[in-house]
């Protein structure tokens, strides 16, 4: 199977709309010579940036996603954003279950599942983030946790829709300023576990579901990660928030990635 490299970033609650437009415009310019049949580049800015973000760069260059979404089309859910609202912005991807949504906002696997199904129903790609906590790792139950997050999070997904499922493996202990990046060997092993659960759930076609690694990716560890067979791309936070740095990271790993 021919693999495409996935490289993406979640801008969290950092860039304003104007800052997002400046970032995307620069990233588009810097990466425009890179063949997009070999690279899927995506950026997930704040909800308020999505509309202007979509207008400033073509979808064929940078795909855009939302950081969260409610599963209902409409209703009495003050402060929430529905699939219909996100659709209007032109975003294509919905990030679901980021560690901060699960562990700071208290979202459950059952809620992530409703969001996955709603995203698919509305024609989005669902990027489901999973990962064990430090305590779960120490208890040696990481594989069980990943398996459960996948089995609940993707419950009810039909095989015909799996081309619109992406997975990000982001161990909670590896993310953010206090995170320790997973070793390439550890990440590769967990990606293997994830791929085998997906295969049990969806059969051989599950091989088309990209599994991205995220958690303190930086120029020092990116090459070691991307050469691993089960790692289909990198989901990057801090090291991607300046366009020149993200561009160099992409160019660093592209030649190492075996398609």
122 flagged as catalytic:
no
Q: In 10 A of CB 5, how many CB atoms?
A: 23
Asked if 236 is part of the footprint of ligand PEP (rule: CB under 6 A), the reply reads yes
What is the total count of residues that contact ligand PEP (CB under 6 A)? 13
Contacts with 74 (C-beta within 8 Å, 6 or more apart), sequence order:
82, 84
Strands 233-236 and 125-130: unpaired
Q: What is the 8-class DSSP label of residue 14?
A: T
Asked if 238 is part of the footprint of ligand PEP (rule: CB under 6 A), the reply reads yes
Active-site entry in 92, 132, 170, 188: 170
User: 162 with 205: CB under 8 angstroms?
Assistant: yes
Asked if 10 is part of the footprint of ligand PEP (rule: CB under 6 A), the reply reads yes
| One residue of 216, 222, 246, 249 binding ligand PEP per CB under 6 A | 216
170 flagged as catalytic:
yes
Residues 165-204 within binding reach of ligand PEP (CB under 6 A): 170, 175-176, 179
Query: Could you tell me if residue 203 is left (phi over 0), alpha (psi between -120 and 50 degrees) or otherwise beta?
Result: left
Active-site entry in 98, 112, 132, 191: 98
Give the distance, in angstroms, between the CA of residue 251 and the centroid of all CA atoms in the same chain: 19
What the block records as the tokens of 172 is 């909670």
Name the residue nearer to ligand PEP (CB basis): 66 or 236.
236
Asked if 65 is part of the footprint of ligand PEP (rule: CB under 6 A), the reply reads no
Residues of this chain that interact with ligand PEP (CB under 6 A) are 10, 170, 175-176, 179, 214-217, 235-238
Could you list the active site residues?
98, 170
């Amino acid at each position: 199977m021919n693999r495409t490299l996935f490289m993406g970033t979640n801008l969290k609650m950092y860039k304003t709309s104007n800052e997002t437009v400046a970032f995307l415009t620069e990233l588009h310019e810097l990466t425009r010579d890179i063949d997009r049949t070999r690279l899927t580049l995506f950026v997930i800015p704040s909800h308020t940036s999505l509309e202007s973000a979509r207008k400033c760069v073509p979808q064929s260059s940078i795909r855009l996603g939302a950081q969260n979404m409610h599963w209902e089309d409409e209703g009495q859910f003050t402060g929430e954003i529905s699939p219909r609202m996100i659709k209007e912005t032109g975003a294509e991807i919905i990030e679901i279950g980021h560690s901060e949504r699960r562990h700071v906002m208290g979202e459950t696997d059952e809620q992530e599942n409703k969001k996955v199904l709603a995203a698919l129903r509305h024609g989005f790609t669902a990027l489901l983030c999973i990962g064990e906590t430090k305590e779960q790792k120490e208890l040696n139950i990481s594989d069980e946790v990943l398996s459960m997050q996948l089995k609940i999070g993707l419950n009810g997904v039909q095989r015909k829709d799996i081309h619109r499922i992406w997975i990000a493996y982001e161990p909670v202990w590896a993310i953010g300023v206090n995170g320790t990046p997973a070793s390439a060997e550890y990440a590769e092993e967990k990606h293997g576990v994830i791929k085998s659960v997906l295969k049990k759930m969806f059969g051989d076609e599950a091989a088309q579901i990209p599994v991205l690694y995220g958690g303190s990716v930086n120029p020092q560890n990116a090459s070691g990660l991307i050469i691993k067979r089960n790692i289909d791309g990198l989901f990057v936070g801090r090291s991607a928030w300046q366009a020149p740095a993200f561009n160099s990271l992409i160019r660093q790993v592209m030649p190492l990635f075996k398609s």
